[in-house]
Chain A
Amino acid sequence: MLPQARIASRKVTSAVYALDIAGDITSFAEGALMAAYTQAAEAGARTFILNFAGLDYMNSSGIGLLVTLLIRANRQQHRLLAVELKDHYCHIFELTRLNEAIRVFADEAAALAEINTL
């Protein structure tokens, strides 16, 4: 069976959408991730909170997928934030420097507090 990812977009405010990620982020998650991103962008999202609370596994292909998403978001002047990352994946974000491009917050409330200060 192929690795499975379930990614749903959820409106938080008119310009902020959460992408709730569950399962495995690998190359096989590309369709689900890009579809959720596109759906939220077309609904008016400018800031995307990647909620990793349901993440089971992420490999290097999944990291590459996040970089692809980041490139796409940068081109459209969208912002990506990450929340609910387990310690191990926070460490990987630091090693890859993804945390410099996708700011990491403990939870959605903390991310929203940051958004509201801008």
Chain B
Amino acid sequence: MSAGGAADGIGAGEVWRPLADIRLPTRPGTDRLAADLVGCVVRCARLAHARREQLQTAVGEAVLNALEHGNTYTSELPVLLEVLVSDGALAVRVTDYGSSGPFAPRIAPDLDAKLAGDQAPGGWGFFLIEQMVDVVRVSADAAHHTVELLLYFDQDAPA
């Protein structure tokens, strides 16, 4: 992703309109709150119900990562949630105040390995994000992590 405006790396000439710009509190349960908010914000977009649920899950997981790994549940640090729409896609950006570099899992979750005790039971978050949306971009600077999620309309049946 470029360092410019929100979602500007998606395609040349794409015009993005902001739908929401929300400052979320860092506390347990904010992932659910974010998923619900995004569900409401995109209700009028051309997304089938299943695709909207996928976006909500991806947003919830991105926010959960922001709470746990970025802000490490420091209540003074917010999570920033932006929702944008273009003629071709929806974009959601989740930004936290972590400074440890971009969160990227080193090992893909494997159920057999988990059941055998070779992997911890958790660690499904980033895997789910990747499965739920069309594009995931992760970036970081000295003071922030940002996860950008894209969902294209042309892979979607009209709602």
Interface residues of A (CB under 8 A from B): 1-3, 24, 26, 28, 57, 59-61, 63-65, 67-68, 70-71, 74, 87-88, 91-92, 95-98, 100-101
A92 touches B57 (CB 8 A): yes
Bound-state Cα–Cα, A107 to B126, Å:
30
B111 touches A97 (CB 8 A): yes
Residues of B within 8 A of A65 (CB): 121
For the complex formed, measure the closest distance between the CB of A97 and the CB atoms of chain B, giving whole angstroms: 5
For the complex formed, measure the closest distance between the CB of B9 and the CB atoms of chain A, giving whole angstroms: 26
B124 touches A64 (CB 8 A): yes
Bound-state Cα–Cα, A37 to B148, Å:
38
Residues of B within 8 A of A92 (CB): 57, 128
A64 touches B57 (CB 8 A): no
Bound-state Cα–Cα, A25 to B83, Å:
26
Number of A-B contacts (CB under 8 A): 75
B111 touches A88 (CB 8 A): no
With A91-B50, A101-B115 already in contact, 9 other A-B pairs whose C-beta atoms are closer than 8 Å:
A57-B35, A60-B64, A61-B64, A64-B120, A67-B122, A71-B115, A71-B117, A96-B111, A96-B124
| Chain A CB within 8 A of B75 CB | no
Interface residues of B (CB under 8 A from A): 28-29, 31-32, 35, 50, 53-54, 57, 60-61, 64, 109, 111, 114-115, 117, 120-125, 127-128, 131
B128 touches A60 (CB 8 A): yes
Bound-state Cα–Cα, A63 to B29, Å:
16
B111 touches A59 (CB 8 A): no
Bound-state Cα–Cα, A97 to B127, Å:
12
- Choice from B50, B117, B123 contacting A64 with Cβ under 8 Å: B123
Bound-state Cα–Cα, A1 to B131, Å:
29
B50 touches A88 (CB 8 A): yes
For the complex formed, measure the closest distance between the CB of B109 and the CB atoms of chain A, giving whole angstroms: 7
Supposing A1-B29, A64-B121, A70-B115 touch, asked if A88 and B128 sit within 8 A by C-beta, the answer is no
- Choice from A2, A24, A67, A100 contacting B121 with Cβ under 8 Å: A67
Residues of A within 8 A of B29 (CB): 1-3, 24, 26
For the complex formed, measure the closest distance between the CB of A43 and the CB atoms of chain B, giving whole angstroms: 25
Identity of the chain A residue whose Cβ is nearest the Cβ of B131 in the assembled complex: A95
B122 touches A88 (CB 8 A): no
The CB with the most chain A CB atoms within 10 A, among B64, B109, B124, B128, is that of: B124
The CB with the most chain A CB atoms within 10 A, among B115, B122, B128, is that of: B122
